[in-house]
Structure 1
């Protein structure tokens, strides 16, 4: 699959605003924000590195090429649901790596089952490290997945629960 040739289907770049503590989702998208305490402040370095290296997605059942999230990089993420392999082309649209906040956002490309942007961010909050997952989703603009969007929303809820448990 030639990822460079694929159009982005997610919202305007970095609409999940991973660098910001507060979020103002754009209209026209199903917006979700969930958080979970994933460790203590003493765990910051390990959790920062885990998020920036896709551990949340990997531990949630997705296969991702090795390496850190890098802005502008296009990747093919895969998920296996029983005998079915789902290929999900994405583009990393923003990476944040600050002293107390780290994470990234990616947008979907043509061929992904939904049009979406997701962000995975950890930040220090007092004595705790908190994982925040933000998602903007709507049906893919075209293709066979479009009709399955109601079922894919249920699958997204399962994935969100896995994401929030992935670093514990």
Structure 2
């Protein structure tokens, strides 16, 4: 585990590093776009941004998260896990890029060797000029393990469900702040 959480130069296991930032997602992958209204105002934006960039939203959504750092930063390693006991699937990732801006906060991580998928996923909080706050997930992925290939269309369905769950979780965390 220590090696996975180091910030070495091991590369992600897909060739399209950073594509979620450009939003021109590469062909040959399943694409995911999910956008959810979180609330309104600067306090909601800040609370939602903190929930996203510290993995608070991931943890509150039921994921086990082991991160090398408290807040995300490029090169940080994270292992996200789902399941129980011996049925837990660990998904090692590296933070590819971050955004800490006045109206945009979030990050993207890319998959590393050992992840059941190959690809990248971004988690962003936006504040419109009128103060409306949005949470958005953008991803591209394809199977990297026999069991994700075998699962076929179930994996994209589960990814959409999780993106929706994250949106609801970010909304709740931001409202509670």
Over the residues paired in the alignment, what is the CA RMSD in angstroms? 2.2
SS of the equivalent of 2:159 reads helix
Q: What TM-score, normalized by structure 1, do the two folds share?
A: 0.85
Q: Which is further off, 104-113 or 156-165?
A: 156-165
| Contact residue 104 and residue 125 of structure 2 kept, 8 A | yes
* CA gap 1:10/1:60 in 2 versus in 1, 3 angstroms: farther
Q: What TM-score, normalized by structure 2, do the two folds share?
A: 0.81
User: Which residue in the other structure is 2:175 paired with?
Assistant: none
More helix by share: 2
User: Which residue in the other structure is 1:14 paired with?
Assistant: 18
* CA gap 1:32/1:80 in 2 versus in 1, 3 angstroms: same
Map of 1:11-90 to 2, 5 A cutoff?
A: 11-17=15-21, 23-42=23-42, 43-65=44-66, 67-80=70-83, 84-90=87-93
* CA gap 1:7/1:148 in 2 versus in 1, 3 angstroms: farther
CA displacement 1:83-131 (0-9 Å, x = unmatched): 6211111110001101110000000111111112110000101221100
| Contact residue 35 and residue 135 of structure 2 kept, 8 A | yes
Q: How far apart are 1:11 and its partner, in Å?
A: 4.5
- Structure 1: segments with no counterpart, 5+ residues: none
- Structure 2: segments with no counterpart, 5+ residues: 172-177
* CA gap 1:11/1:83 in 2 versus in 1, 3 angstroms: same
| Contact residue 114 and residue 146 of structure 1 kept, 8 A | no
Count of residues in Structure 1 that have an aligned counterpart in Structure 2: 163
* CA gap 1:127/1:5 in 2 versus in 1, 3 angstroms: closer
Q: How far apart are 1:145 and its partner, in Å?
A: 3.8
CA distance in 1, matches of 2:119, 2:49: 24
1:135 corresponds, among 116, 125, 139, to 139
